[in-house]
Structure formats: C-alpha cells, structure tokens
Amino acid sequence: MTDVSVPASASAPDLTPSRPVYDGKLGELYAIYFRHLALMVLTVGWSRFWGRTRLRRYLWSHFAVLGDRFEYRGRGLELMTGFVLVLLMLGVWGGLLWVFWEYVLHERSIPGLGLIDLFTYSLFFLGIPLAFVGHYAGLRYKMTRTRWRGIRCDLGGSAWGYGFKATFLHLANGLCGQLLTPLMSVLLAQPRIGNASLGTQRFEFAGRAGDIYGRFVGYYFLNILAWIIAISIGVGAVVWGGKTLDIGEKELADFFTHITPRSILLLIGFAFALYILFGVMILPLRCWWQAYLWRYLVSRARAGQVLFASALSTRQMWGFLVLNYMIVMLTLGLGWPWVAHRTARLIAGQLWLYGAPDGGSIRQPPSRPPRFGEGLLDMFDVSGI
C-alpha cells in the first residue's frame, strides 16, 4: 500500500522512502461516532469505553505502513476497569482525608476550609502530576494494544517518573517565562519516543535542545512583538469604534445583558474580527514554531535502520492546531470525526519513512502489557480518542 517507492542501490543502505497510507472514509467514521453518541445518551456515558475502542479500531486498521495495516486490540472492559479502579483510588484518598480531618485537624480547623474544600484542593494539586502520569500510562496502554504484522508494540519506562519529570519541567518553564520550552520539549519527547518499541525493535531519539534554541528565541521575541501590535490594534479599534458608533457604558451593559438579533450579529462580527487579528498575527507564528518542532522531533527519531522525516508546513500545522480546534468548537463536538479524519490524512501525507525494518529479526516484546488502561487519563485529563 505504499504510494512511493524508489529502488535503492545495492551498496548503500536501503533508504527507500515511503509514507503511511490512511484509507478511512469520513462517512464510515461518522456512522461509528453517531452510534457511539446515541449509546452514550442511552447509558448515561458508561458506553464511552466501548465507543472509544470501536473508533480506535477503525482508525488504526485503516492506517498502513509498508503495506501492512495496524491493529488495535484494546477492549472496552479494560478501559472501564481502569476508570473504576481510579474511582476507587479517589474514594480511598477521600477516606484518608476524612480520617485526617476528623482525627487530626478536627480541633484546629481552619476557618472557611471544609472537608470538601480540602478534597478539591488536594485533587487540584495532585491532578496536575497525575494528568501527566495518566498521559504516559494512556500512551503505554494504546501502544500495548497496537499490533503491526502481528507484533505487539510496547512502551517501557515509568509513568510516575515521566509524570514527575513533566510536572517539574512545566513548573520550571512557567517560572522562566516559557524560555525552557525547547529543553522541555526534547526532554519529554525522549521517554515517549526512546521507550517505545515495536516488539523487540526499540525506537531511538537523538534530539538536543541546543539544536532548536536559535529558532525558538526568534519565535519567542517575535511573539512578544506580535502581541504588542495585536493588542494595540485591538484597543485602538475598540476606542475608535466606541467613539465612532457613540457607544457608552449603558449601551455596552445593555449589549451583553439583553440579547437581540442585532447584538448577536455584532458579537459574531466582533469574534470574527478578533479571530482575524489573532489568526493573522499570533497563530501563524505559533504554528511556524510548532511545525518546526514537529519536524525536528520526527527527524531525530529512528527505529533500527528505519529513519523518519516530515515536511509538515506552517500552513498544515495551522490546519491541525487552529482549524481543527475551530471545527470542534463550532460544531459543538459533532465535527470530531472530521478532525480525526483530517489528522490521520495529515499524518499519512507528511510522515516519511526511509528504509524498511528487518521483519525477521523483530520478535514479540518480552514484557507483559498492562491489564487495564487509561483510568487516570480519563479522570484527570481530556482523553479524546
């Protein structure tokens, strides 16, 4: 099913380029999605584990590399068990907090702080690292349920280690005004790529933050400049518009509190203007950086003799980051299959593989896959598909 193949010379290593092929159809994806949504309403959401599994089976099996399709062999019951286990863990945590509240804090209660508040705050602070742990554990679950040529994929490493590393790096990056972004991106890509494997064939990642700092610093200061210009234009437009249209405080208050067809139209116009302003000035810049980062991360990954590359452009990244977001938001979620379909086609079109694996030397992975999956991801983060 490869759509490009160029014969390699006998002496050079085989670096025949190929791309993955995605042959899914939007209508078929929508049929599965609508069924999933209908069952979600009927079961008050409990069918989501099975619905997600069906969608993954469709997407995975319509993706092929070197002519061989992927398989997804996860089960809805595994996802539900993972979710219930995390619910139980939260129950135990709530119980421990109650004991702490009742027997330790009881006499020294803090005014305005109730048991429920304590539970909520603890979840908020625990939730951030746990979301990262969940991301990694969820990735591991998906990898271990994925097969290519009958061989199971795997993801080693510790999800907890990744969670704490990611929390620390995000915190440090925030404190440093996002200047650590290249370092963080490379350090977090390392375990996600370097611990992945197809059977016994490990992936490798050889990225270095120093390679991409130059581009990032350029993006960083251009971004600040773009914000200053965009805010100046925005404020100028509002002040000029207010004076020209003679809109006072009362009219503004009425505008937001008494919705009329005119105010809806004006709001849509305002949102569109805002979108144009940010769409033209801020987002392309961000997409420029993100596309560059994606190309870099892909080009520094390899699996044995197979090398990877991507030619993802800024415009394509804009379609992925911005347009997809708009589609989901404007369709109130009903555009999700369209977004998944677009993304799959983008990956198939922009990911290049050079060379082919030596299939005979790749065997099933020695480690056992996790029995349940994604509970933490479901609980603390948007898990999507």
Partner 1 sequence: MAGQIRYYDGVTAAALDVTVRPSSLELVISRAGSPDVMARWPIGEIAILGDSEHEAVPPLARGDERLMVEDAELRRQIALAVPQLAKFGAPKPSPAGRVAVFGTSFAALLALFWVGIDFGSELAAPLVPYRLQARLGDSVMTELVAGHPLCTNKSGLAAINGLANRLARAADYDHPVKVTIIRGGPVNAFTLPGGQLLFYSDLIDKARDGNEVAGVLAHEIGHAVHYHSMKGLARQYGLDQLLRLITGGYSDLGTVGAGGGLLLALSNGRNFERDADATGVSLLEKLGLRADGMADFFADLQKAQPRDAASQLGIWSTHPPTAERIAATKRPPTGKPAFSDEEWAALKAVCAPARENSPVPERVPQKPLATVPTLPQAKEPPGLPPPGKR
**Smaller CB distance to partner 1: residue 103 or 256?**
256
Q: Report the nearest approach of partner 1 to the CB of residue 7 (Å).
A: 19
Q: How many CB atoms lie within 10 A of CB 267?
A: 13
The binder of partner 1 chosen from 214, 361, 367, 371 (CB under 8 A): 361
- Interface segment toward partner 1; rule CB under 8 A; list 142-150, 155-163, 223-231, 308-316: 142-150
Q: Report the nearest approach of partner 1 to the CB of residue 218 (Å).
A: 29
Beta partners for 21? 64
Residue 217 contacts partner 1 per CB under 8 A: no
Q: What are phi and psi of 179, to 5 degrees?
A: -75, -10
Residue 232 contacts partner 1 per CB under 8 A: no
- Interface segment toward partner 1; rule CB under 8 A; list 75-83, 118-126, 216-224, 358-366: 358-366
Site string for partner 1, 154-193 (x = CB under 8 A): ----------------------------------------
Tokens 């319509």 sit at which residue? 62
CB 357 within 8 A of CB 305: yes
Q: What is the rounded distance in angstroms from the CA atom of residue 98 to the CA atom of residue 287? A: 47
Instruction: Give whole-number Cα distances, 293 to 19, 105, 205, 297, 312, in Å.
Output: 20, 49, 14, 6, 10
- Interface segment toward partner 1; rule CB under 8 A; list 62-70, 157-165, 179-187, 228-236: 62-70
Residues with Cβ within 8 Å of 35's Cβ and at least 6 positions away in sequence, in order, are 51, 54
**Contacting partner 1 within 1-30 (CB under 8 A):** 23-25, 27-28, 30
Instruction: Give whole-number Cα distances, 164 to 32, 92, 160, 298, 345, in Å.
Output: 37, 22, 6, 24, 34
Residue 364: in which H helix or E strand, if any?
A: none
Would you tell me which residues interact with partner 1 (CB under 8 A)? 23-25, 27-28, 30-32, 34-35, 37-38, 40-42, 44-45, 48, 54, 57-58, 61-62, 67-69, 71, 73, 111-112, 114, 148-151, 198-199, 201, 253-254, 256-259, 325, 328-329, 332-333, 336, 357, 359-364, 382-384
